[in-house]
Amino acid sequence: MNYEIKNEYIKAKIKSFGAELNSLQKIDKDLEYIWQGDAKYWARHSPILFPIVGRLKEDSYFYKNQKYKMSQHGIARDKEFEVVNKKDDFIEFRLCSDEKSLEIYPFDFELYLSYKLEKNSLIVTYKVKNKSDGKMFFSIGAHPAFNWSLEEDLKKEDYFLEFDVSNSKRYFLNELGLVYDSTNLEFEEKKLFLNEELFKDDALVFNDLNIKQVIFKSLKSDKFIKVNFENFPYLGIWSKPSSAPFLCIEPWFGVADDKNSNQNFEDKKGIITLQKDEVFSCFYSIEV
């Protein structure tokens, strides 16, 4: 089911399947900010990445000497969530572990996603509860896709990303989606000018707690998207280098496996540990 929330400034729609944001608009405008999905390019809108971000080496991992298979970005994006709270400008979804999830991911959990409108911003909050008897290991991340461009008369090359830092550590992904190298990337006056060629070797992945904000905009327009995300250690920027008309700005707590990973889940790069009954929470916002 698709639910709508709104205030006097903006409105959003979120599907119960995957608790996935699929629309964000200003009340008085027809402009759609969220990519509407097209299987020709990429059929999703804004999936949640849980309990892994990115790809595992050989799409598998080991926990307590047992091997588990898990595909890229985990299981939550393909699960039906239940609504646990709904107001005009707020909605909260919940996903609980079950027998099927335990076959892939051997931890009992409760995962909450909430969406709250405040003026021209949508605040997205993730909350993870460890319901297992022992420690729980996981990663979590966002994957919102935005229309690129935001106006019909502008080209993709008219857009840039404005960062709040002058340079950052960038990871490189190989053809298997695994981290294999890193470098320091300098931004031109804190700007990364966009073109399809940027994504010929997959996503741009940054490891930098100093990045707390990215603005997607053009010098030829006053329309913009500002994504705020304090304390997220990783950031992905992605599109498909096939004239795909979307751009993803992805704050992450977690990252793909290193090509030399030992595949032990407890040793995974960017993994989060929760003790029994402990709760992890984080949030990011989208301002338009």
Instruction: Please report the DSSP string for 159-227 in residue order.
Output: EEEEESSSEEEEEEE-TTS-EEEEEEEE-BTTEEE--GGGGTTS-EEEE-TT--EEEEEETT-S-EEEE
What pLDDT does residue 242 have? 80
Q: Which two tokens stand for residue 60?
A: 């598998």
How many domains does the chain divide into? 1
- Give pLDDT, residue 241: 82
Model confidence at 111: pLDDT above 90: yes
**pLDDT confidence of 160, banded at 50, 70, 90?**
very high
Quick one: pLDDT at residue 81? Answer: 98
Task: Give, in order, the Cα–Cα distances in Å from 165 to each of 24, 80, 222, 232.
Answer: 27, 38, 22, 15
In which band, very low, low, confident or very high, does the pLDDT at 127 lie, cut at 50, 70 and 90? very high
Any alpha helices (H) in the chain, and if so which ranges?
99-104
Taking 90 as the threshold, does the pLDDT of residue 243 lie above it? no
Which pLDDT band holds residue 146 (cuts at 50, 70, 90)?
A: very high
Of the chain, the percentage scoring pLDDT greater than 90 comes to 97
pLDDT band at 103 (very low <50, low <70, confident <90, very high): very high
Q: What is the mean pLDDT of the chain?
A: 97
Residue 92: domain span: 2-287
Q: State the average pLDDT over residues 146-172.
A: 96
Q: What is the CATH number of the domain that holds 258?
A: 2.70.98.10
- Amino acid letter at 231? N
Q: What is the mean pLDDT of residues 149-175?
A: 95
Name the band, by pLDDT with cuts 50, 70 and 90, for residue 71.
Answer: very high
Token code pair at residue 283: 């949030």
Instruction: Check whether 134 has a pLDDT greater than 90.
Output: yes
What mean pLDDT do residues 220-231 have?
A: 97
Mean pLDDT of 210-222: 97
The yes-or-no verdict on residue 37 having pLDDT over 90 is yes
Question: CB of 38 within 8 A of CB of 105?
Answer: no
What is the model's pLDDT at position 93?
98
Give me the amino acid identity at 48. Answer: I
Instruction: Let me know: does 247 contact 116? Beta carbons within 8 Å.
Output: no
Residue 280 has pLDDT above 90, yes or no: yes
CA dist., res. 270 & res. 206, Å (int): 12
Of 108, 101, 104, 109, which Cα lies nearest the Cα of 70? Answer: 104
For residue 44, the model assigns a pLDDT of 97
62: β partners? 67, 264
Q: How far apart are CA 162 and CA 260, in angstroms?
A: 33
Distance between CA atoms of residues 20 and 143, nearest Å: 10
Per-residue CA distances from 155 to 37, 161, 191 (Å)? 19, 15, 17
User: Rounded mean pLDDT of 112-134?
Assistant: 98
